[in-house]
Amino acid sequence: MNTKTNLTPESWQYRDLNERTPSLSVMADTLIELADQGYPIAAGTADLQHSNGLVKFANAYPDRFVQFGISEQNMVSAAAGMATTGMIPYVATFASFLGLLTCEQIRMDVAYCAQPVRLIGHHTGISMGFYGTSHHATEDISTMRAIADLTVVSPADGAQFRQLLLESANYPEPIYFRIGRGHEPAVYSENEQFQLGKAKVHGMGSDITIIACGMAVHGAKEAVAELNKIGYSAGLIDMHTIKPLDEAAVLEAVNHSRIILTVEEHNILGGLGSAVAEIMAENPGKARLKRHGIMDEYALISPPQRLYQHYKLDGLGVREIAEALL
């Protein structure tokens, strides 16, 4: 067998699913914190307790943790059942399975029945890199956004995810969180405050305002800094809650900027860009819109960093897209 590979040493850092930094590492810690405070937290996963770090919660609260095995649909239905007993269940697995494979169970057992289940899709977007198309999740925002009474949240980093997790303990509706693989660079400090349904506005630009979510926020923030350095007026909105969308923030940007650029690690159809386009279509302003992300195709198979560069989702790539528009 030919075992040669053309992967560079840099790319090998993405091989081990058990490497956990920011977003994944805060999940168990935050759930333990909530449980310690008296919230009736329960947690479950589909054979990924080591990959997503929930083994730590399992050790702290073994009677509140369920390892469902590779049975994602049963996990979601069981979580809905737990919620009917007064528990607040948080269930986590790969976003490619949670946001697509379990769509029917999320729709019927969770959202339709108005159960406060927190669905955490991790390793989202193209962060699984060379694990292939079956493990890429570039359609989950679109799928989840179309389900009535389901909140959709895409945190930028671990600090933001932690704050939104804490807030979710008192949130009345079911939530779908989409988070990365744990290698996302930090955007916020641990003391930053966020609110579900309220965008984090980093300023409006008279030339261009970028609206981003998830891992794309870091690249967009870098791009905005560089654009301002070379004389443009650029702003940034972190739209961490995609549904319900902060319409007021979008309309403020539309009335302030010449160009709105949405950036997301997702198919441009049905995701953040589409949500913003819907608002702009019903509230015409002076701005024109450009959606940037995966251009309605199955993502290539490659190490994540190479994919982010290829799809221009890093700082340099977002800046190039913005400059071309300007």
Q: φ, ψ for residue 44 (rounded to 5)?
A: -155, 160
DSSP 8-class letter at 18: T
CA dist 123 and 85 (Å) reads 30
CB 48 within 8 A of CB 94: yes
Helix (H, G, I), strand (E, B) or coil at 88: strand
Q: Which of 10, 19, 33, 72 is catalytic?
A: 72
Q: φ, ψ for residue 291 (rounded to 5)?
A: -95, 130
CB 214 within 8 A of CB 154: yes
72 annotated active-site: yes
93: nearest Cα among 126, 68, 56, 65:
68
Helix (H, G, I), strand (E, B) or coil at 205: coil
26: nearest Cα among 168, 145, 232:
168
Active site residues: 72
